[in-house]
Structure 1
Amino acid sequence: MAAPNPYSKYLKEIKRGGTTYKYYHLPSLSKYYCVLPYSVRILLESAVRNCDGVQICESDVKNLLAWETTHKDSCELTFKPARVLLQDFTGVPAVVDFAAMRDAVNELGGDPLKVNPICPSDLVIDHSVQVDVTRTPDAAQKNQDIEFERNKERFTFLKWGARAFTNMLIVPPGSGICHQVNLEYLARVVFSDGGVLYPDSVVGTDSHTTMINGLGVLGWGVGGIEAEAVMLGQAITMLVPQVVGYKIVGKLDQYATSTDVVLTITKHLRQVGVVGKFVEFFGPGVAELSIADRATVSNMCPEYGATVGFFPIDKAGLDYLRQTNRDEEKVQLVEDYLRAVGLYRDFSNQDQDPVYSEVVTLNLANVQSSVSGPKRPHDRVSVVDMPSDFQQCLTNKVGLLMCRISRERQRTWDRTTHFLCWCRTLCVLNATRVMLRSPLKSRSWVHDKKTASRSTALCSGVIPSWKHRQASHWGRPLGTLSLVSAGAVVLIGLGVCAGWTADGKVVYLRDIWPTRREVQVVEKQYVIPAMFKEVYSRIEEGSTSWRALQAPDSALYPWDPSSTYIKRPPFFEGMTRELPSIKSIENAYVLLNLGDSVTTDHISPAGSIARNSPAARYLAQKGLTPREFNSYGSRRGNDAVMVRGTFANIRLVNKFIGQAGPKTIHVPSGEVLDVYDAAERYAKENAPLIALVGKDYGSGSSRDWAAKGPYLLGIRAVIAESFERIHRSNLVGMGIIPLQYLPGQSAESLGLTGKERYTINIPSDCRPLQEIQVQVDSGMTFPVILRFDTEVDLTYFRHGGILNYMIRSMLG
């Protein structure tokens, strides 16, 4: 039972606009508060405010106040974020799970209306638009109309969710990508709940949720399953973080971009080694970076491996709130609160610099213009080195351009008549500044608009407004600048370069590249608060198509058996009120034997559904044609499709097979089968399954189906050399046991082929990070670490997963 908050004595008041607010005066807690990293202060505030003796204890507060010591000791911490952010690919399965939980609670005799987000949750439907129509001025609108019809079932279901669940905002399609909407509209910076002020913080179902740290909002990506637990009021269990202080000094060259800065910082931090750590930026050079610049740096956290890349809020942050049409009274309240609790930052004041685990420094004057990608954005090549790198790319198997050129495929393209049709999704995070450079460049270099066909999905709903304002100013639209798709160039194996005037003179990038000052002037002139007011005042209404959708108005969702998009998942079938006993795994077969760096996309691809795949066969049996298959990402609400798509990536390399492909061996018979078909056969034989994997299992973007899919295939344990942080948590959340070889050991070093049978004895009184034994039918035994890292992990496992635990909690 929750106890009274022992820190209530630290409550103080702020008055603003005739209203009195309360807040916890953190500086009064300890003299050591003023030396804590700003990101740790936010964790501390949450612990103080939520201290109930059950989920959050006084020990959490004390461990954070003693951060200088505890961050070195792998000390455990529980944290309650202020809100949850979902995008539709991960949001649909979350709402499906909530709907299924309502059914389960109802069937077990409970009140289904108890199943609601407790923590404020925002779901942004930011689907990507497929290109069906090209070469017409209204191509973009037509493609959006087709996309809406294609995804009508999903959108109808989400509209039901918007009505059925309280404390959940669902932003209709066409508003922009979730991270940009989060930055421009959803971010509170400071929350007010029941008259109590506290810092905004967020966990999101996308690894790039970290972008919001650029605005002083602490946030990072978690698995979809863990996010659902937070939505239901559960705290996140984590270790007291190490915080690397990243000091920025100097001034940036006028031709350098935020992309140049982020690539430099990313490469530097990868060299420093910040995996699993917080990075906090400080120093006078931070003031040189706009909020868009900072957000871009924070967005790259997954590429340099940090949990967050945090920028405390300063005057630039407050100005950004005003620019994006936040209420002035609210902005003043934000400033009052942040100053009162020591969370407002003056980067030029060294007296405000906290103590960090370690400090590294970047001089902005050393940042050079560079290029990167497209497949590995954390790699970079300086522009001055591009000529030699480009030449090397022509013959290297893998280079920055990721293309191979054979002599017979080299060709010269007529620069006036032959351009490739291109499709571009503007998922750039500092969208305004990146796009503002386009008209500035095109003033000096514009081709005939007939040479390119365009369909653009914009990251921010504000972009069309200032795009129109720019067009009226310069006399011609952005669309007159012809671009060639790098993806298409790579696909057909071309090595390309461009840049000549009509009379044959070479055009260099320096001739057309705008300075940062030019961009800042244009941004101030054309990106104005009125645009944000116009767009976001109607954001919840959605388009005409969205408003016309007829969604059910019931508390329980009326599942349609004929739907191929939305299906009630089987996770809670056979569930009882009573806690099940812990069962060991006996004589399990290995479904897959995988190597290093198996990503969530290998495990649960989000792309197109191959026509010869089990998922395609299932959809064909439902009467769908290949044109109607859509993608795995769009069908995340249907477990029958998703389980058939698990390990269906054509680039998956299974050691049983020896070549890329979504195949495995049914060990008893030796037959080579699709992974799903093999798992189905094992299920008929009542044979439990495990997987053997290498290092960094589950790296890449967080995907709940990368854990749900293996669970439905029958995999009950994964033995790995190491796990990606979010994916390990997702496995636990689905009741799959994560096991890790001892340091230096692997399947190869132990002589495991994967064709053995494995017995894993799980003690009924197992402890976090306990060493247990795995028995092989060959007679050998080897030790592994039980990667239940916390007592909370064990609690979820005993219940069969996070959602099962929450259902039993609601049943009392």
Structure 2
Amino acid sequence: MRHPYAATRQTLPLSDGRALDYFSLLSLEAAGIGPVSTLPISIRIVLESVLRHCDGLKVTPEHVRALANWQPAAERHGEIPFTVARVILQDFTGVPLLADLAAMRSVATEMRLDPRRIEPLVPVDLVVDHSVMVDEFASPQALRHNMEHEFARNRERYQFMKWGMQAFNTFKVVPPGIGIVHQVNLEYLFHGLREHDGVVFPDTLVGTDSHTTMINGAGVVGWGVGGIEAEAAMLGQPVYLLTPDVVGVELDGQLAEGITATDLVLTLTQMLRHEKVVGCFVEFFGAGSASLSVTDRATIANMAPEYGATMGFFPVDDNTLTYMRGTGRREADILAFESYFKAQGLFGMPKSGDIAYSRTLQLDLASVTPSLAGPKRPQDRIGLAAMRDNFTHLFSTPTAENGFNKAPADLARRYPLSLHGNGQSADSSQRLQGKSLARDVVEMVDNRPTPDHTPYTNGQDDLGHGDILIAAITSCTNTSNPGVMLAAGLLAQKAVTKGLQVNPRIKTSLAPGSRVVTAYLEAAGLLAPLAKLGFALAAYGCTTCIGNAGDLSPELNNTISRYDLVCAAVLSGNRNFEARIHPNLRANYLASPPLVVAFAIAGRVNIDLTREPLGTGKDSQPVYLRDIWPESGEIAALMATAFDPDTFRRLYADFTRDHDLWNEISAPQGETYPWPASSYIARPPFFDGFSMQEKPVTDIRNARALLLLGDSVTTDHISPAGSFGETTPAGQYLLSLGLKRADFNSYGSRRGNHEVMLRGTFANVRIKNMMLPAKDDGSRTEGGYTLLDGMQTSVYEAAMAWQQRGIATLVFAGEEYGTGSSRDWAAKGSQLLGIRAVIARSFERIHRSNLVGMGVLPLQFTGDDSWQSLGIQGDESFTIEGIAQGLAPQQMLSLIMTRPDGSSAHIPLRCRIDTPIEVDYYRAGGILPFVLRGLLSN
């Protein structure tokens, strides 16, 4: 059919003689469709996709007209069918997605249809970055040994990925050891413009990691979705979203001397989370925004999930072009990119008054101060000068108020290292995870009196509250930023010159986001001093930030457990949720890379580094942070080493060159996967009993509560990614297969096996189910437990028992249910447990969408209602009415609660199926059967 807006297809001549066909936004405005030139830049880029894909079916002229007339303060009812240019995956979420595609092909074959009907319709890149652990550290061999461990653990997964590369035409894999998905995306996969059927258009994407938003720093519209939503995007479905509010954030001024991009992003995260920008597009503008480099912008955009926004978007300008040249993009591509964005009226940083946003916020960059965030949430910013007092305050604050619930007097106590739990001090020659305590160590004496007025030595034979045991330069957020990485190297260089060292029991690691980082640190002469302090190259991957820090030594674990110590980690990451970094470390702080190094030298977090010394130098004099903090001029002088185009071209030219571990992996061939016996990859059950006919939806009757949860329950709480023990349901399952504890790996690495993930759902060691009775001290049992017939058991065992009885289950929760990673297994696992609905005070965007995508109903309390205010105990039965009558977006449903004494209450709930297409997904049993029916019927 003829395109409804065919006249908007224009030709753009370039100065080098080429010509580009494109759909012109300005000609759309000239035709009187809407005031396009005053819309937020991010809305205009989405509008271009809607205009280009307008076919009168999935995308109608009404969609184009509605978005072209976006109003800043309008009620948000309409949905946008946004078709993205590509999809990006990381391996933890990408492997189960590939398993779903393989299962779809198996279904097609069983139905005697061509399995090639199941094929990604847009380019898909999977970057393997989540699987490497820091097993060895602080040694020249750490990188190689950690990769060898990674390949030994994950061989079956990598074989599966290689099968996918040959089975699907549009599916590519960036192997392990290359870099972190978002940094590889920024440095290599992003090319500015895309082309299809002779038409060019802006790069846009969705990804199966919430920090996909990092690419917003380069002017690319994209965000994180669950694997199930990304799968639909791959297979031709638009990404449907409610028309968003767009919050404009005007940045003014300049950062003060010594202030890092990390300090800025932690400040913005706290500010924007407080301003409640959840579900909004956040668009930065103003002179301060224009002054920031693309890597600084990417640092801010990366943490959009932490401040709750769908995006943290920066428009394209001259700094974007500078970045593209510095990272080795072709000059012809840069010319086309610049010309296109100028022709569309999309080039340049807006000034105040240029655009009418839903609301506008301001931040003076000069007001930003050195910061950390923690100890449990990334939005809880702490000024560097307040660290000691903050830790002291939280130490004796109740757990319910984000504290550690300890006696104040305990803070000053030191405890001997316990060897295998027998109370003996560790011998100084004992190996602790790759470091020898026998090497020469300069003890770092802290002259500040502790609360009982007795000075102590932060030595190697005892342990106390606040001591740091993990210090990691890790995560795409900061390792993509040469400014903070060079600062860390310079600080290390100065510290080594002063004679400072790091206590060898601290697990130090350097895990850059790409090989480019190593190249420029080495060229600047900074790799060696970092290694001298223990920050030797350990991996190219997410490592500590995703929960792959590896274990601590038995001595340290035993002492922490025996004395219930509150020990700490400092990392340059974006997530510090409970039990994510290490199950035994309860205080976890996000910080810039140079502050990570500084705190590692200091050895503890209950310290004010603005006034107290880091340690004692080789001249026996105290050394302060100000003595070794790098100046901005020193960093600027080295910045050219970080943007050498030839380095980028060389390192991204061939991923298989000299990569013996990857090249040795063999894989099955063919269009369908043979599903060999494996504890890592299993055919998912989501298509069992698949039929081309939908089953009718019904009301939920006589359901029982499986969990009663509080506020800020994260996807880490629901579906942890880290390690697990033998006594867990997942551990028991793997033991039954004949595996040993050493072979368990992590939940994240086993996301291709639903049997493991089902047993790991709601199994986080820090989750608190309020159905369990309070202890004598008022605290709650932690871990994946619930009540069944009045008896405590695991969530998995209780859920299986309810399913055997034919009884549905519900989860009740508070505010911000599902914050954190875009973890589709948090929804998939909930569905497999038999959970029919989650009833919460509010939901985080991605997880709400994932629940709908798996056929689990998200319902929201109204007004001031909560499960606590309604007196829900967990022994009631529940019926949800109004579903079978016909769902509509955000309609009201009724929850009927019947108590054991026979009394009942009717409670109004808002259905958080937000768009018409989500109604279709829910009626189809979820997005996966919906998409499969469409593909097989064509």
Find the residue that maps to 1:804 and give its secondary structure. Answer: helix
Secondary structure in structure 2 of the residue aligned to 1:811: helix
* Amino acid across the alignment from 2:663: R
2:637 is aligned with 1:536:
no
2:822 to 679, 702, 707: 702
2:640 to 519, 524, 534: 524
- 2:4 matches 1:10: no
Distance 1:11 1:628 in 2: 57
SS of the residue 1:758 aligns to? strand
Cα separation, 2, equivalents of 1:415 and 1:393? 25
Amino acid at match of 2:8: Y
CA–CA distance in structure 2, aligned partners of residues 533 and 64 of structure 1: 39
1:608 deviates by 1.0
Name the counterpart of 2:145: 142
Distance 2:56 2:743 in 1: 53
| 2:173 aligned counterpart, secondary structure | strand
Evaluate the alpha carbon distance shift between residue 491 and residue 653 of structure 1 in structure 2; reply closer, same or farther with a 3 A threshold: closer
Unaligned regions of 5+ residues in structure 1, if any?
none
Q: TM-score scaled by structure 1?
A: 0.93
Amino acid at match of 2:841: E
User: Which residue, 440, 443, 464 being the options, matches 2:518?
Assistant: 464
| Among 427, 433, 451, the residue aligned to 2:475 | 427
Structure 1 Cα separation of the partners of residues 349 and 710 of structure 2: 48
Rounded to whole Å, the distance in 2 between the matches of 1:737 and 1:392 is: 40
- Listed one character per residue, the Cα deviations across residues 482-524 of structure 1 (whole Å, up to 9, x for unaligned) are 5699846994995466233222323222222222232122011
| In structure 2, distance between residues paired with 1:423 and 1:100 | 41
Q: Distance in 1 between matches of 2:301 and 2:734?
A: 40
The alignment partner of 2:733 has SS state of helix
Equivalent position of 1:480 in the other structure: 532
Distance 1:604 1:244 in 2: 31
Quote the residue 2:434 is aligned against.
Answer: none
Structure 1's 652 and 263: CA in aligned 2 closer, same or farther, altered over 3 A?
closer
Q: Are residue 108 (structure 1) and residue 120 (structure 2) matched?
A: no
CA 1:564–1:322: 2 relative to 1, 3 Å: same
Measure the CA separation in 2 of the matches of 1:688 and 1:451.
53
> Is the contact made by 2:211 and 2:303 (CA closer than 8 Å) also made in structure 1?
yes
1:596 to 706, 711, 722: 711
- Please show how residues 500-515 of structure 1 align to structure 2 within 5 Å: 500-515=616-631
The residue that corresponds to 1:575 in the other structure is: 690
**Equivalent residue for 2:738?**
623
**Residue from 725, 730, 733 that aligns with 1:610:** 725
The verdict on how the C-alpha distance between 1:135 and 1:307 changes in structure 2, with shifts beyond 3 A counting, is closer
What's the Cα RMSD here? 2.8
- Give, in whole Å, the separation in 2 of the partners of 1:18 and 1:45: 25
Question: What is the CA distance between 1:158 and its match in structure 2?
Answer: 0.8
Q: Tell me the residue number matched to 2:330.
A: 327
Percent identity over the alignment is: 43
Counterpart of 1:715 (choices 814, 835, 858) is 835
CA deviation vs aligned residue, 1:242-297 (integer Å, no higher than 9, x gap): 11111122222232111122122223323333222111111112222111111111
Greater CA deviation, 370-379 or 607-616? 370-379
Partner of 1:355: 356
SS at match of 2:908: strand
- Asked if the contact 1:88/1:125 (under 8 Å) is kept, the reply is yes
Cα deviation, 1:209-240, whole Å, max 9, x if unaligned, reads: 11111110011111221111111111122222
8 Å Cα contact 2:91/2:131 also seen in 1: no
Q: Could you list the per-position Cα deviations for residues 400-424 of structure 1 after superposition, in whole angstroms to 9, with x for gaps in the alignment? A: 9989753321899813996788563
What is the number of residues matched between the two proteins?
A: 804
In the aligned structure 2, how far is the partner of 1:514 from the partner of 1:261? Answer: 17
| Change in 2 beyond 3 A, CA 1:576/1:646 | same
What residue in structure 2 maps to residue 556 of structure 1?
A: 672
1:414 to 422, 425, 443: 443
> Which of the residues 145, 157, 179 maps onto 1:154?
157
Residues 199-598 of structure 1 correspond to what in structure 2 (within 5 A)? 199-346=202-349, 353-373=354-374, 375-386=376-387, 388-389=389-390, 392=393, 406-409=411-414, 414-415=443-444, 424=472, 426-431=474-479, 432-446=482-496, 447=499, 452=504, 455-471=509-525, 476-482=528-534, 487=568, 491=585, 495=606, 498-539=614-655, 543-561=659-677, 563-598=678-713
CA distance in 2, matches of 1:293, 1:160: 38
CA separation in 2, counterparts of 1:788 and 1:391? 44
TM-score, scaled relative to structure 2? 0.81
**Contact conserved, 2:281 with 2:311, CA < 8 A, in 1?**
yes
1:771-790 mapped onto 2 (5 Å cutoff): 771-777=892-898, 778=902, 779-790=904-915
- Give the Cα–Cα distance (whole angstroms) in 1 for the partners of residues 372 and 831 of structure 2: 41
- Cα separation, 2, equivalents of 1:396 and 1:421: 22
- Secondary structure at the aligned position of 1:592 is classed as strand
Match of 1:98 in 2: 101
CA distance in 2, matches of 1:223, 1:135: 36
Distance 2:313 2:674 in 1: 43
Q: How is 1:787-802 mapped onto 2 (pairs within 5 angstroms)?
A: 787-802=912-927
Amino acid at match of 1:481: L
The residue aligned with 1:21 is 20
The CA deviation string for residues 172-191 of structure 1, in whole angstroms up to 9 with x for no partner, is 11111111001101112221
Partners of 2:614 and 2:624 within 8 A in 1: no
107-116 vs 776-785, which deviates more?
776-785
Aligned to 2:795: 675
Q: How many Å separate the matches in 2 of 1:535 and 1:234? A: 34
Residue identity matched to 1:624: L
- SS of equivalent to 1:571: helix
Q: Which residue of 2 aligns with 1:127?
A: 130
Q: Aligned to 1:758, which of 850, 856, 878? A: 878
Residue type at the aligned position of 1:616: G
State whether residues 70 and 240 of structure 1, in contact with CA within 8 Å, keep that contact through their aligned partners in structure 2. Answer: no
Q: 2-side partners of 1:148 and 1:808: how far apart?
A: 37
Distance 1:287 1:517, change over 3 A: farther
> Distance between the aligned counterparts of 1:48 and 1:329, measured in 2?
26
CA contact (8 A) 1:171 1:540 kept: no
In the alignment, does 2:191 pair up with 1:188? yes
CA distance in 2, matches of 1:521, 1:403: 47
| SS in structure 2 at match of 1:583 | coil
SS in structure 1 opposite 2:685? coil
User: 1: distance between equivalents of 2:346 and 2:396?
Assistant: 52
User: Is 1:657 aligned to 2:778, yes or no?
Assistant: no
C-alpha deviation, 1:531, in angstroms: 1.1
Aligned residue for 1:443, secondary structure, equals helix
The structural deviation recorded for 1:305 is 1.6
Q: Give the deviation of 1:169 after TM superposition.
A: 1.8
CA distance in 1, matches of 2:367, 2:472: 32
**Aligned partner (choices 48, 53, 57) of residue 56 of structure 2:** 53
Q: Which moved more, 1:747-756 or 1:636-645?
A: 747-756
Aligned pair in 2 of structure 1 residues 368, 781: CA closer, same or farther (>3 Å)? closer
Seen in structure 2, the aligned counterparts of structure 1 residues 12 and 650 have a Cα distance that, compared at 3 Å, is same
Cα contact 2:262–2:478 (8 A) shared by 1: no
Deviations 1:32-91 (A, max 9, x none): 121111011101101100111222111221111211267444433221122211110100
Going from structure 1 to structure 2, the CA distance change for 1:73 and 1:566 (only over 3 Å counts) comes to closer
CA positional deviation for 1:322: 0.8
**Distance (Å, rounded) in 2 between the aligned partners of 1:323 and 1:400:** 44
1:43 alignment partner in structure 2: 46
**Aligned amino acid, residue 623 of structure 2:** V
Distance 1:373 1:729 in 2: 28
8 A Cα contact 1:72 1:242, kept in partner:
no
Letter of the 1:407 counterpart: A
